[in-house]
Structures are given as structure tokens and as C-alpha cells.
A and B are shown apart, each in its own frame.
Chain A
């Protein structure tokens, strides 16, 4: 890959590293409002094991790296259930509905950063990994090498903030960013995206201090749509609606639908 280093301000503002989408330019990026959201951090887990490409959020093999041994091919689609003796899938128990009895709710994966915290100390080493094929229900054991997350060349251990080059291919770190046509945009309930999308629109407060308004995802709303925060699936724009027709989202200006 060619080495290009933007030097002055105009070069830095307009340089798009190879593979990065236009949304990573400061002028377009969400990081313009929220520094730190230049990329989706979950993507650093995708190539944490040499030879495999994992899903960014689930311990599932998505594809195999070019230089990987042929037998790795059979792992595509399989779930990674344990690494170096640490379970990645854990049984979940609890009530199904509020006040209900505690029962088994099946298995769920731990979030990558928690699940692999110990494994990261073994960067460069081989670890025992157990894969599970959901179709044949067979388990396979494979020795995999853990990749280094940071490029520590020339820096004291633990002080480098530079991601290792082979941890992600060009463009990968910025995939799955929060754009209207991506899941997170609808999903994220943490109000993190406040600058790019509203939550509660057309709200009004009555004399008694009660506030009423629309869910930002309320479909086909007009000024006459009754003001209540609907969570009924049938009232809301679905994921699929967003993927296919994200333009249907209304402009909300000053908290109100644009006329």
C-alpha cells in the first residue's frame, strides 16, 4: 500500500484513506459532532484470530483470510464457543416477562470486549478454540493465533494507541457506522445520535405539565396524528423500511416535523 501523509490543514481535511467511505471525512463524519465515532470499534475483533474473519458483534465465522490453510474453509458459518478454556456462549436465565418465573432462556454470546479481555494478553500465541456447527451440531477444536491489537513498535509496551496494520483491511474500521441505512440508527436507544436523529418529535406540554408527542419512527404521521409515543411495531418504520427507503425519514427542525 502506498504511503501518503497529509501534511497541511486542507490536505488533512480532504484526505480519504484508501477504502474509507466518504462519511469518514471530517466534513461528513458523525465525528464532526462526536469525536471518537470516526469508526466502529467493534470491527477490531473481526481479524483477532489469524486466518479467520469473524462477525463484528457475534462469535461467528464470516469468511476466511486469503493466506489461511484450506481446512479453515469448513469453519465458515460456525460459532466460536470457547477460547483458551473461556466460554463465549453462556446460559441465560431469568423471567421471560416482568414478574414471571425464573427459567432457562437459552444461550447468548458475551460481548467481544468482555469475552476476549484475557485472550488479548496472549497476543502472538496459539490458543485452543472450539467451534460449533449449528447444523450438524458437531464441535471442532482448532489452534489459532491471537493477533496483536496495537502496533507497539518503538513505543513502551501498553502505550501505543496505534492499531496494528493487519488488524483491519482498508475500509473495514468504518463499516457498520451509524448511518440511516444501518441497524444502529434505528436501534440505538442511548441518545448517542442526538445530533443526527431525534427521539421525541412534535412534543407539546400542556398546562398541567404533561408532555405528549410522536415517536420519531412513527410512520405516516401528520399534525393530526394523535400525540402519543407509540411503540407498536405496526406504527413504526421497520428496519427494512429504513434499509430500502431511508429517504422517507422526515426532516425534523426545532423538534417539529418540517411542513
Chain B
């Protein structure tokens, strides 16, 4: 037997539901051969991704083969020369220089650093980030909202996110902060978008009405349907939470007009069957459903290992194929990961960072300290000052310089770097980069799906119409790892 063959994951016992029965073989790894290009076949034709600027081209056999030969030798100079020869070179889209400063455009408030669930893998360590459970005082929430409007000019848009712990534990402050933001927004002529990430257990229909009124993007953390969810997200006393949550979420699903209620599934080795989760949650009426692998948990518990990621990739591709099929047929099948990727690939999104953390986006702790994002709350590696004394510009500049994808290894030599951005800072700092083959495998699939869909249904991409299923995907920032 070939020793390189990944082990069949333990959960896929013979006779249990295998994603592709009888076809278990390692997925072709997506090695980072040269940093400039990635070559792929889609719809039976050769294609090329030029990493810089995320530019996708259909090419002929000769272009494909010559680039392929040069890149399999790892010959960067020859790849560069060929790109010039074929007129595919361009001035660099992303330079080494980090942005000097960022106006703050989004804040997340850890309104409650406590939680009523006991998820074993939670980054917030059951809500309190490893410290004392606490609620954010109203004054801190108000100051945060004020801070958000400080750098916003009329006509611009800012985002206010509520996270925790479980933010609904501190409902009065959440509501007050929302009202304050609405008032300030009106005064300043600045548009405000609201979002909340919740475990759903405390939702009421009054919450639904409130969120609907203010056009919230509501993300409910669910780890599957029924037992799959209950295994991972029990109440602290061990009872399953799915049925309970569903009772509370259902009225909101019905109310969705301005509000969008999405499901976010954190994937661990114990809930690797994604397709049933996706179908089940879409059927329940969620606006979109997304998955993110658990790469780093404070206890190490539930973290995905390489073979789990391989299994997850197969499942993601299975979901993506279904999504591609349904989208091509004009049906709505809101698999957020694929739709977001298609949208980004179509635009040619190229980012030197994985997300806005530490740049235009900051997290505020219950005590009013500022951090790179919601996940870094009370974590010194992402500390950036506090509301009283202001954003620590020096720490921010250092962060932006250090976290730039050109400064990351092995990202600087990876073709996926401007689509991936180098991976969630929190996971990278705390665990490293165990998921690169998964990320590249996924992006490779998304590129192929993009080209196929573009050929079959170009009108889906012809404008950024919100009615197009491709472009009603949630924004990229929401598709990053689950809080």
C-alpha cells in the first residue's frame, strides 16, 4: 500500500455514509510550485490563474504547457519571462508596503464575555476568553459606537457587530448601542450595517422584530442538524441544544426581509458530514449556510488534523458540485463558501491580508480595550490600545507590517496568497498553517466552478445585481472563520 495515502478517517467506518463510496483516494494535492501562477483544467479546457491581481484566463495548449513545464521545475524566472511574452504581465497589484493607516470602518463589541453553552472548542473558552465572565457596561458600548463614527465621512458606511460570548446575554446594552448608532448615523449622514453572531438559544421574536427593523445580518452558530449539532454544542449541563434553538430561530427565519439569518457551521472531526447539514439548514430557510474548519481551539480539542481536512475538502467539493448544478439551473442554493468565492474570483479580489482585522476592523472587549478582532479579545498578541486613550497606532502599524502576506512563510511563495490572504491571523498565531492543502484544494475547485459557471451562465456575473444568486452571497468578512 502506498504510504502516502491518507488514512481513511476513523469516522468513515465501512457501511456508514461515505461521501463518495468506493472512491476514497487522496485528492491531488495542490502544491505551491511557483508563486506567480496556478494552472488548471475546467470544462475540458486549459486555464490559468495569475496570482497577482487574481486574474483568470482561458489559454491555449501551448501557453498552458509551457507555463506548466516551467512551473513544475519551480523555474520562477522562466515563468516570469513567459508571462511577459504572452502579454500577461502587469505592474504589481500588491506591493510590499503595508498601508500606513486605516480608518476604522467596523467594530465588534464583545457585549457579553460569557455564554450559556459549553462548546468544547470555543475560542472564547466558553464565553469568558479564559478570564472573568462579564458584561460590557453601557458606557463602554456607547463610547465604542462614538469611536466608530469618528473617522466616517457623510455618505460612507460603517459596520457594528455584536459578538461574545453570547451577545444576547446582554440584550439591553446591545439594543442601546444599536439605537445610539442609528442616531449618530442619521446625524452624520453615515450608513450603518449591523450584525450579530449568536448561538440562538436566547433569541426571542422581539429580538427578531428588532433585528428586522434595523436590517441585521444574523449569524446563528449551528454545527449541523439535530444530533450532529447536539454532539458539539450541548448546554453546559450536557443537554442537546438543537431543538431548543430551532424553536427560537424559526420565527426569525419567517420574518426575514431586511434582516438576513444565516447559519455558520464550525467543522470539527466530529461533524464532517457537510452535505446533510447544508441541505438540512437550507431547507429550514436560512439565508445562507457556511462552513469553517476548527483549526485552533484553546484546549486543542476538536481541532482538525490533516486527514480530517482532506475529508472535509471532499465534502466541500460535494456541496460545491451540488451548488454549481443548482445555480446553473437557476435555483437558489445558498452555499456561502462557494458563492462568496465565486464573487471574489469574478471580481479578482486580491488581498494582502486575510481579513480586515487590525486594519479597518477592530474588536472591543467588555472592558473597552481594543484588539485586532473579536477573536483576539483579551489576547495580548492582538492588543491595540483602548477606547480611553485611543487606538495604539504604533501597534497597528507593526501589526500591518508583520501580518502582510508578503512577510508570511510559506505564503509568499504560494499561488493562493492573494485569495487566501495568509490564513486567519488568530489561527496562524496560535496553531500555524495546517490547512494550506485544504485551502488550495478548495480554491482550485472554486476556480474551476467559476469558469464552468461563467461559460454556462455568463449573465449571473454580468452585473453585481443583488438578485443574482451568486451575488446575494454574504460579504467576505462574514465568510471568515466562525467566531
One of B82-90, B279-287, B296-304 contacting the partner: B82-90
In the complex, which residues of chain A have a beta carbon less than 8 angstroms from the beta carbon of B60?
2-4
Of the candidates B55, B59, B62, which one forms a contact with A8 in the assembled complex, judged by CB atoms under 8 Å apart?
A: B55
Bound form: Cα–Cα A18–B54 in Å: 20
Say whether B87 contacts A11, CB under 8 Å: no
In the complex, which residues of chain A have a beta carbon less than 8 angstroms from the beta carbon of B350?
10
**Is residue B24 contacting chain A, with contact meaning CB distance below 8 A?**
no
Q: Which residue of A lies closest to B455 (CB)?
A: A7
**Most central of A5, A11, A16, A17 by chain B CB within 10 Å:** A11
In the complex, which residues of chain A have a beta carbon less than 8 angstroms from the beta carbon of B454?
7-8
Say whether B86 contacts A10, CB under 8 Å: no
Say whether B57 contacts A11, CB under 8 Å: yes
A4/B59 contact (C-beta < 8 A), A9-B346, A11-B348 known: yes
**Is residue A15 contacting chain B, with contact meaning CB distance below 8 A?**
yes
Rounded to whole Å, the gap between the CB of A27 and the closest CB of chain B is: 11
Interface SS majority for chain B: mixed
A7/B58 contact (C-beta < 8 A), A2-B63, A14-B53 known: yes
Bound form: Cα–Cα A34–B290 in Å: 43
Of the candidates A8, A10, A17, which one forms a contact with B450 in the assembled complex, judged by CB atoms under 8 Å apart?
A: A8
Bound form: Cα–Cα A9–B450 in Å: 12
**Is residue B347 contacting chain A, with contact meaning CB distance below 8 A?**
yes
**Is residue B311 contacting chain A, with contact meaning CB distance below 8 A?**
no
Which B residues from 55 to 69 make CB contacts under 8 A with A? 55-60, 62-63
Bound form: Cα–Cα A5–B56 in Å: 9
Say whether A6 contacts B86, CB under 8 Å: no
In the complex, which residues of chain B have a beta carbon less than 8 angstroms from the beta carbon of A7?
47, 56-58, 450-451, 454
Bound form: Cα–Cα A19–B230 in Å: 62
In the complex, which residues of chain B have a beta carbon less than 8 angstroms from the beta carbon of A6?
55-57
- Range of interface residues on chain B? 20 to 34
**Is residue B345 contacting chain A, with contact meaning CB distance below 8 A?**
yes
In the complex, which residues of chain A have a beta carbon less than 8 angstroms from the beta carbon of B58?
3-5, 7
Rounded to whole Å, the gap between the CB of B9 and the closest CB of chain A is: 35
Rounded to whole Å, the gap between the CB of B146 and the closest CB of chain A is: 37
In the complex, which residues of chain B have a beta carbon less than 8 angstroms from the beta carbon of A9?
346-348
Rounded to whole Å, the gap between the CB of B420 and the closest CB of chain A is: 16
Bound form: Cα–Cα A10–B91 in Å: 13
Of the candidates A5, A10, A17, which one forms a contact with B87 in the assembled complex, judged by CB atoms under 8 Å apart?
A: A17
Q: Mark A64-82, 1 if CB is under 8 A from B, else 0.
A: 0000000000000000000
Q: Mark B430-472, 1 if CB is under 8 A from A, else 0.
A: 0000000000000000000011001000000000000000000
Say whether B345 contacts A4, CB under 8 Å: no
Rounded to whole Å, the gap between the CB of A74 and the closest CB of chain B is: 37
Bound form: Cα–Cα A140–B339 in Å: 66
Say whether A10 contacts B47, CB under 8 Å: no
Bound form: Cα–Cα A5–B348 in Å: 15
A2/B347 contact (C-beta < 8 A), A7-B451, A8-B450 known: no
Q: Which residue of B lies closest to A6 (CB)?
A: B57
Q: Which residue of B lies closest to A18 (CB)?
A: B87
Say whether A14 contacts B90, CB under 8 Å: yes
Of the candidates A4, A10, A17, A18, which one forms a contact with B53 in the assembled complex, judged by CB atoms under 8 Å apart?
A: A10
Rounded to whole Å, the gap between the CB of B68 and the closest CB of chain A is: 14
Q: Which residue of A lies closest to B345 (CB)?
A: A8
In the complex, which residues of chain A have a beta carbon less than 8 angstroms from the beta carbon of B88?
4, 15
A4/B57 contact (C-beta < 8 A), A15-B87, A16-B87 known: yes
In the complex, which residues of chain A have a beta carbon less than 8 angstroms from the beta carbon of B86?
2, 4
Rounded to whole Å, the gap between the CB of A9 and the closest CB of chain B is: 5
Say whether B59 contacts A11, CB under 8 Å: no
Say whether B56 contacts A11, CB under 8 Å: yes
Which A residues from 2 to 45 make CB contacts under 8 A with B? 2-11, 13-18
Bound form: Cα–Cα A37–B232 in Å: 61
Which A residues from 51 to 107 make CB contacts under 8 A with B? none
Q: Which residue of A lies closest to B48 (CB)?
A: A4
Of the candidates A2, A8, A17, A18, which one forms a contact with B56 in the assembled complex, judged by CB atoms under 8 Å apart?
A: A8
Rounded to whole Å, the gap between the CB of A90 and the closest CB of chain B is: 43
Rounded to whole Å, the gap between the CB of A192 and the closest CB of chain B is: 28
Rounded to whole Å, the gap between the CB of B57 and the closest CB of chain A is: 6
Say whether B62 contacts A10, CB under 8 Å: no
Q: List 21 A-B contacts (CB under 8 A).
A: A2-B60, A3-B58, A4-B63, A4-B87, A4-B88, A5-B57, A5-B58, A7-B47, A7-B56, A7-B58, A7-B454, A8-B54, A8-B56, A8-B347, A8-B450, A9-B346, A10-B347, A11-B50, A11-B55, A14-B53, A15-B55
**Chain A interface (Cβ < 8 Å from any Cβ of B):** 2-11, 13-18
Given A7-B57, A10-B93, output 8 extra A-B contacts at Cβ < 8 Å: A2-B86, A5-B59, A8-B55, A8-B56, A8-B348, A8-B450, A11-B55, A13-B348
